[in-house]
Structure 1
Amino acid sequence: MFRDTPADLASAAADLIATHVHSAISARGECLIAVAGGTTPVSTYRELTRRDIDWAKVVFVQTDERVTPQLADRSDGLIESALGLTDPGHRATWHPIPVSGDGRETAAAYDEQLSLLRAEGVPDIAVLGLGTDGHTASIFDHTLREDPYQRVVATTYHGEQRVSLGLNYLQAVPTRILLATGGSKRAALAQILTPATGAAVTSAAVVLGQDGYILADAAAHPGQA
């Protein structure tokens, strides 16, 4: 699904997410949403707050996080701000990744948290970003097949510790929505849509599979000059 501008994309993505939130609430009485950080989803999250949703039945978790004490380098604050999760009166439940000094400890703590939320299941919706190298969440091509069955994994990217929902766990989420904006994402998106012969499959392509949603603006569209 392509839109001309990031604003158009944010509105369309918010509509899509809201539709699936309503479906999940209707089916099971609640909706569990895994949300990515980064700048691309921010406008979508802000749009989503304007949709008519029973927020008391919505629970947010994170797809991934940097393991660092530097709050400015983490995603949780940006997500909280965009979704208004710390605003007085907001009724959604929010479970950010409890960052500690060690990636494995953080991953184990979040695994336990997720098991309490859905002992046997997965989130209803995952909102995903796209890295310029084709990764999504913090699942990178060089670690694609490491611990694929773990619910939460600890990994390292460019020397930085990260924690991420695991590959198979994300693949099992019934509604997976990938957002991409800007020309810097064009090559990575092209590799998902029309993989080059002999090229390695990117982690974003693996997570999306054949039934994930892709929403991108015109600048990210591989067909644009």
Structure 2
Amino acid sequence: MQQIFHDNVSAQAAALALSVAGHLSALIKSKGSAYLAVSGGRTPVPFFQALSMQRLPWQHVAIMLVDERAVPPHHTDSNARLVAANLLRGEATRARFIPLVTEECATQDRIDVAKVLTQANTGFSQPDVVVLGMGEDGHIASLFADAPEYAQAMNLSAPPGYTATSPRSAAHRRITLNRAALLGASKLILAIGGASKREVFTLASHTQNVALPVSCIIHQDTVPIDVYAAN
């Protein structure tokens, strides 16, 4: 595990964008295409904006979501909406975007989660590069330790793909990559910011702890992980 520290979020975002662009470029050269999975929330916005300006053969890149809230595509909490506004612009407008919640799965205020999962897992494409954030409770993606579906989502015997979780500590039901899909990537990148999250990360680094989902990607040797931390 490689850890890279930055004085501020802007420096972190710039370095992260360069790193991801480098991985995507290498993948395209070696196999002709690359699948990038990104997370939602407020934290990745500067990274999205920096990555959108990277000069890449974006037409060979497919952008996926690590997770999504069970809300319609136009909802303010939609991760797809966040990605469209901040990443799918500039150079990156040529990328192919694969949303999770489509109009066929949504009414004005209701999501057919079973239909979302069927669509997402039919012909599932394993992401090559996965960029994760982390909550102050140690969750990654939408793998929350207090979700009734947590054990199933963390089961490495499950087929890689998407699953649904219903975290008690967060708004909305979620659709998320399971642990098997995260560890099926060729590269994991974790971006964290702020003293409180660094403390949680340090705690999770000491030993694998089922109550801290992030520890499951720290304490593994299946896929290399880089950690970008900012003050």
Q: With structure 1 as the length reference, what TM-score do the two structures score?
A: 0.84
Of 136, 144, 152 in structure 2, the residue corresponding to residue 146 of structure 1 is 152
Aligned partners of 1:108 and 1:152 also within 8 Å: no
Task: Tell me the percent identity.
Answer: 26
Q: Deviations over 1:146-178 (max 9, x none)?
A: 143141101101263110011111111111101
Shift of the alpha carbon at 1:102? Answer: 2.9
2:31 aligned residue: 28
SS in 1 for 2:173: strand
Paired amino acid for 1:35: V
Paired amino acid for 2:151: R
Structure 2, gaps ≥5 residues long: 106-110
Of 62, 72, 93 in structure 2, the residue corresponding to residue 59 of structure 1 is 62
2:108 aligned residue: none
Paired amino acid for 2:177: L
Which residues of 2 match residues 1-225 of structure 1 at below 5 A? 1-69=4-72, 71-85=75-89, 90-98=93-101, 100=105, 101-112=111-122, 114-115=123-124, 118=125, 122-142=126-146, 143-147=149-153, 148=155, 149-150=158-159, 151-158=161-168, 160-195=172-207, 200=210, 202-208=212-218, 209-210=220-221, 211-218=224-231
Paired amino acid for 1:90: T
Shift of the alpha carbon at 1:201? Answer: 5.4
User: How far apart, in 2, do the equivalents of 1:104 and 1:183 lie?
Assistant: 38
Distance 1:89 1:20, change over 3 A: closer
Q: With structure 2 as the length reference, what TM-score do the two structures score?
A: 0.82
SS in 1 for 2:56: coil
Paired amino acid for 1:125: V
SS in 2 for 1:145: helix
Aligned partners of 1:144 and 1:167 also within 8 Å: no
Aligned partners of 2:34 and 2:61 also within 8 Å: yes
Paired amino acid for 1:129: G
User: How far apart, in 2, do the equivalents of 1:192 and 1:50 lie?
Assistant: 34
Paired amino acid for 2:113: G
Shift of the alpha carbon at 1:191? Answer: 2.2
Aligned length: 209
Q: Deviations over 1:12-31 (max 9, x none)?
A: 10111011011110111011
